[in-house]
Amino acid sequence: MHASTMERPSCLPRSSKMNSYITNAISDFFFKYETPRQVLVQNRRVGVVCRLIQLGVLAYIIGWVFIYEKGYQSTDTAVSSVFTKMKGVGYTKVDGEERVWDMVDYVFPEQGDSSFVVMTNYIITKGQKMGKCPELAEPRYLCNSDSDCERGIIERTGHGHMTGKCVGNTTKTCEVVAWCPVEDDRKIPDPALLMSAENHTLFIKNSVTFPAYGVKRSNLVEGIDNQYIKSCVYDPTTSPLCPIFRLGDLVQLSGFNFATIAKMGGAIGIVIDWTCNLDYDQSKCKPIYTFHGLYGNPNETDMARASVGYNFRYAKHYMEDKQEKRTLLKVFGIRFDIIVRSVARKFDIIPTLTAIGSGVGIFGVATVVCDLILLYLLPKREFYNNMKFKVTETVEQEPLDEFSSEK
């Protein structure tokens, strides 16, 4: 008995074909380049439209992106600090009493912050002490009997706590527990008592740092020394870099009238603008001052508005004959808010390449528009469609199908 053997078909040809196909596919992927076919269309109208769109895109890239928006530069905002100093002396004579007001008396707060108030007018109530006294003779406080004054009620706009009594000889008002005598602010001094504040001066010191570029600047730029500061006063034309400002000039440059705003008070914004191109020398990075009337009474017609002006109250407490007393002042003043606005720019290759790349991509808009015109709007659109798109027959049998059919 002997064993018979049967020869099996060899798999070598199939494996060889598979390896050859894979090798060719990898070779084609790495060593062959494909490019889309382009069709040159001889049509003047479409050509003009294409060039006009491309010209518009080019103007947008150069004019807007690079020149106006500085798309080739990176930007940074500054870390800044501001402190101020007021100088000037005011003089008043009220009811025969003379008084001198220096910066400690009329500037609030006195630490030199970037936001502060300069007093220009006031109503003073001296010698107030805690006790019982009648309210002001206003219609809301008038009474005929104690029943008109409900005990324990505190009016939101009143001066104290009602005792439930109606007091007075000719004009009767409700009695309150309050700082007596109560303040009477119904008549505001006109003209303002501290009109001399118009000649006070404001010194502003501002420093900025652009951390991304390591640049530090101050509004005391090159050429501003102690000798210059002693004699200069800001003027937008002759001395635009002087850091000393006359209050009357600030009010005028903001669009207000000093006599009007001094009576009722208001608010003015001082903007220090640092817009610097650090591709140039740092010495060219200088501040620009602008002034804006934020709140006040520039026109007499504004008197019809509610809550015109700016005011607040503060008191000075003291002891007299072992009793606490205070002097109350209702202050009308001009509030100054110093705002620093900053941006620094410098050339950077990354935003430059980004701007160029986005611009090149936008050029494709011209191709899309022209294709729409050719394929859908022109009379010969069928002809252009056949020229642009090449339709091939379907391949029914792939090379790998031969492999799967072999056994």
Binding residues for ATP: 85-87, 201, 311-313, 330
| Residue 392 φ/ψ, nearest 5 degrees | -110, 155
Omega cis (within 30) before 181: yes
319's enclosing H/E stretch is strand 311-320
Q: State how far the Cα of 176 lies from the Cα of 136, in Å rounded to an integer.
A: 10
Among 198, 200, 302, 175, CA closest to 251: 198
Among 128, 140, 141, CA closest to 167: 141
**DSSP letters along 21-45, please?**
HHHHHHHHHHH------------HH
Among 187, 206, 2, CA closest to 84: 206
Q: State how far the Cα of 178 lies from the Cα of 167, in Å rounded to an integer.
A: 15
Known binding-site positions: 85-87, 201, 311-313, 330
Q: State how far the Cα of 31 lies from the Cα of 33, in Å rounded to an integer.
A: 7
Exposure string (b/e) for 254-275, b if CB count within 10 Å is 16 or more? Answer: bebebebbbbbbbbbbbebebe
Q: Which residues pair with 165 in a beta bridge?
A: none
Q: With contact defined as beta carbons under 8 Å apart, do 78 and 208 qualify?
A: yes
Given phi > 0 = left and psi -120 to 50 = alpha, else beta, which region is 257? beta
164's enclosing H/E stretch is strand 161-167
Residue type, 258: F
Residue type, 152: G
| Residue 406 φ/ψ, nearest 5 degrees | -80, 140
